[in-house]
Amino acid sequence: MPRRNNNRNSGGPSPVGTGGPRVEAGPAGYDDEQYLVRQIPGARALKTYRCPGCDHEIRPGVAHLVAWQADGLGGAEDRRHWHTGCWNGRGSRGVTRRWS
């Protein structure tokens, strides 16, 4: 019997960096602050950023994420680049660097 090529795309999450932002709780980990979060693949990380979670640099070529408030106020200057692990652990530890 011939092999059937099944379409395996079941409508799940899109590959990293290609989908739109998702909504998550903010840096303090509380549900009352909503932030939009977008994955940045290493191939698209071209600049050095400072992670507010650990105060270390995110070097070019390192996959990370960008978070900004979901209320629609502010612009690109209000976006913050986080290490993925720092963002995921934001509920169990405080922000190291205060946003100015």
Two tokens, residue 66: 């960008």
Mapping DSSP to helix (H, G, I), strand (E, B) and coil, where does residue 86 land?
Answer: helix
Contact 39, 65 (CB under 8 A): yes
Q: What is the DSSP letter of 5?
A: -
Do the beta carbons of residue 33 and residue 26 sit within 8 Å? yes
Mean pLDDT, residues 24-31: 78
Q: Which pLDDT score, from 0 to 100, does residue 19 have?
A: 67
DSSP 8-class letter at 70: T
Q: Are 58 and 48 in contact (CB under 8 A)?
A: yes
Over the stretch 32-65, which tens digit does the pLDDT of each residue have? 789 999 999 999 999 999 999 899 999 999 999 9
pTM over 0.75: no
